[in-house]
Structure 1
Amino acid sequence: MSLTEQLDRLAAFEPAPYPVVSLYLNTQPNQHGRDSYQTFTRKEFKARQQTYPPNTPERDCLNRDLERITRYLETELQPSAHGVAIFACDAGNLFEAIQFEAPVEDHWLFIGDQPHLYPLARVMSQFPRYAAVLANTHATRILVIAQNAVADTQSIEGVKTRRTSQGGWSQARFQRHIENYHLQHVKDVIDALERIVTRDGIQQIVVAGDPVVLPLLREQMPKHLAEKVVDELNVDLAASSNDDVVKAALESMKKLNERTDREKVEAAVGAYRAGALGVVGPDRTLLALTNGQVDELLITASLAKLGTLKRTPAAAMAVANDAGFAQPAIEPVAAGEAAQADVGTVRLADELVTKAQQTGARVTFIEDASLLEPYGGAAALLRYRI
């Protein structure tokens, strides 16, 4: 199951009158080579248990969840994982564990009435699934990169050709012969790429190649694939490992996001000012999400920079459309990074992300917090106005 499918399934979880545990851990060893997350879980699990009276259904449910999470971390966490997210609610038949190759920035523990999805959506935004095409005229690798690691590799082999003619062929005839081999190889690459893009739902492609093959790729690539190409990497194909490619591709994607983040925020603000397809501010954005109007949610990557709902008509209508947000079934508690923000802010962040997932809106985290700070940390591009 893909990360997107897991996020969709978690977003569909109905708020429960029992504790729902959302745990995010950075499982990378510390500077001494030891895991540090056990200290966090031992301390915080005990502290959170004590927030519920003993011998109550809520406390019993939470105890079972924390025991199951502890067993999972002891027996099923892979040594190669850099992070893990676990969601559990015994009463709601929920137990979902996701191990990441990408790092989780800090430990989070949030207990409420539904899964805490803001950090999971942010990992997806930081480390999207994309394809890297590494091509020369006779051999090509296509890498599917997800969570900062190679998730899949496909090799396409062509005919390795000589530089000069031998035998009785004229140089012009020999050159046409070579060009036909090159063209056929490029067509085979594009066919394979088409299948991978369709299978994995790839939205972005980076390419790298020699001076001969790159023009052929551009010429032969159909429009719907060419529109997904976001950069051409400058890497030595013969000397580059998969890790080298991932590093170069990640740097390319970061630069792309810096540019597109600013463009998207400017588009949403401009559209809002013109009374067109844009809204700004948490209240208007939440209302647009509850109405199903949002095509793309823009939300700050810094939880501390997300504003709160104001006493505005938009906020009142949004809350009226979602009674669960106004009156949570379980009083939320937090530890780790989640505790550094107001609980209401954490719930608002979750509500924005969850509503986006439920309505098929894209979610983009704006890494430069200053871009959205004047607008309370949230904005949206709309499908339509009401």
Structure 2
Amino acid sequence: MAEKSTTALETPLRDQLDRLAALPPGSFISLYLDLRPDHNGQRNHVQTFLKNSFDEQLRTMTGDTHVAFENTLERIRGYVNSTDLTATRALAMFASTTGDVFEAIPLDVPIEHPSMHLGSVPHLYPLARLNDQYPRYAALLADTNSADIYVFALGSTMRRESVTSDKMRRTRMGGWSQARYQRHADHWHKLHMKDVVDALDKVVTQERLDRIVVACDEVAKPILMEQLPKHLAEKVIDIVNVDVKSIEQHELLKETIDALRREDAKSDAEHVQRMLDAWRAGGLAVAGIEATIRALDMRQVEELLIAGRPDRVVGPADELIAKAQQNSARIRFIEDDSLLADVGGVGALLRFKI
């Protein structure tokens, strides 16, 4: 089965996280908004959340700090009110109250818990977690006559390629025995799958993807797997059985994301155990907040393992995320709280020891 890449280089929000993690300390508002309409199709809850959050913060401020914060809030309000966010499910915003930094990131995936944060650096934990939950991957939807190859990331379709075989329809079959017809069909099905695999290989290589989810029927499955070369087969994390002809694109996205989540739950446990074993043996791993921060400062970290909820991290979670992003380390959020509970919610696999 495929492994998650241990690099931060090819993730959906790489550029945004890199920019935000590299900002020098200052005064920042970090805002995460749930833009999904309510049961009446309205988004009044967004303005209510903004007003309540802003008022709560303003009550604690005076003088120049109050003025700077209020000016930044007006800029945020202006963006939300003037931008067409109809098709957007969530919004992450980062604004400096003392400088020019203002970045808005519309998202096609939900933010379950809207929040506002004030701090000396942007609050990147929720954004980095979305980056981990909705990775870039290939989804292959195939039968014996056609195929679609999708590249999904952050709940959106980034690319789509189609492969169609009409060779069987162009061939005259009159007078053939059933056995001869079946041999002929099998031959063209294999040729079709070879075309599909060639197209898949091209997409995976060009997009630098490390995970593939296959969706096909039982007839196509053995033909496809026979044609897959080793380097592609190793990237396949699951094969889901679907009705290829009728499945909608949003249903395919859900099916394949669910497959990723199942695999992630399994591989999360394996990675944590690998980290704990190496740490206890004095190998290429550290555990706990202080040792992990030291390793990040020394640029030793290959993969940061951190609890899926910041309140489960005994220490500065945002600092860990920012340092890992600055070091191009892989950030893996562990959704099962119990796995990292004994080490304060954080540990790391290392590139080297000092």
Both structures adopt the same fold (TM-score exceeding 0.5): yes
Task: Name the counterpart of 1:125.
Answer: 132
Which of 1, 5, 29 is matched with 2:15 structurally? 5
* Partner amino acid, structure 1, of 2:281: A
Task: Name the counterpart of 1:334.
Answer: none
* Partner amino acid, structure 1, of 2:70: N
Q: In the comparison of the two structures, how many residue pairs are matched?
A: 343
Following superposition, the deviation at residue 97 of structure 1 comes to 1.0
Q: Give me the CA root mean square deviation.
A: 2.4
* Partner amino acid, structure 2, of 1:196: V
Task: Name the counterpart of 2:47.
Answer: 38
Following superposition, the deviation at residue 209 of structure 1 comes to 1.9
Task: Name the counterpart of 1:158.
Answer: 165
Distance 2:90 2:205 in 1: 28
SS in 2 for 1:87: strand
Distance 2:208 2:123 in 1: 25
Superposition map of 1:12-27 within 5 A: 12-16=22-26, 19-27=27-35
Structure 2 gaps, min length 5? 1-10
Residues 129-173 of structure 1: CA deviation (Å, up to 9, x unaligned): 222101112210112222234343222111252699724667676
Following superposition, the deviation at residue 50 of structure 1 comes to 4.0
Distance 2:219 2:298 in 1: 51
Following superposition, the deviation at residue 90 of structure 1 comes to 5.8
Following superposition, the deviation at residue 369 of structure 1 comes to 0.6
Structure 1 gaps, min length 5? 309-347
Residues 267-307 of structure 1: CA deviation (Å, up to 9, x unaligned): 11011011111111111111111111111111101222111
Distance 1:164 1:264, change over 3 A: same
Distance 1:223 1:92, change over 3 A: farther
CA contact (8 A) 1:118 1:350 kept: yes
CA contact (8 A) 1:165 1:171 kept: no
Task: Name the counterpart of 2:235.
Answer: 228
Which of 279, 292, 311 is matched with 1:272 structurally? 279
Distance 1:197 1:14 in 2: 36
Which of 14, 27, 37 is matched with 1:29 structurally? 37
Distance 2:277 2:261 in 1: 24
CA contact (8 A) 1:136 1:213 kept: yes
Following superposition, the deviation at residue 217 of structure 1 comes to 2.6
Distance 2:66 2:297 in 1: 33
* Partner amino acid, structure 2, of 1:9: R
* Partner amino acid, structure 2, of 1:43: N
Distance 2:28 2:352 in 1: 34
Superposition map of 1:1-386 within 5 A: 2-16=12-26, 19-35=27-43, 36-54=45-63, 56=64, 58-89=65-96, 91-159=98-166, 161=168, 166-167=173-174, 177-308=184-315, 348-386=316-354
Distance 1:170 1:33, change over 3 A: closer
CA contact (8 A) 2:12 2:135 kept: no
CA contact (8 A) 1:37 1:107 kept: no
SS in 1 for 2:314: coil
* Partner amino acid, structure 2, of 1:45: F
SS in 1 for 2:258: helix
Residues 237-261 of structure 1: CA deviation (Å, up to 9, x unaligned): 1221112212221221221111111
* Partner amino acid, structure 1, of 2:62: P
Distance 1:184 1:96, change over 3 A: farther
Distance 1:173 1:234, change over 3 A: closer
Distance 1:295 1:146 in 2: 23
Distance 2:301 2:346 in 1: 12
Following superposition, the deviation at residue 180 of structure 1 comes to 4.3
Distance 1:203 1:76 in 2: 35
Distance 2:52 2:178 in 1: 76
Following superposition, the deviation at residue 32 of structure 1 comes to 4.4
Distance 2:165 2:21 in 1: 45
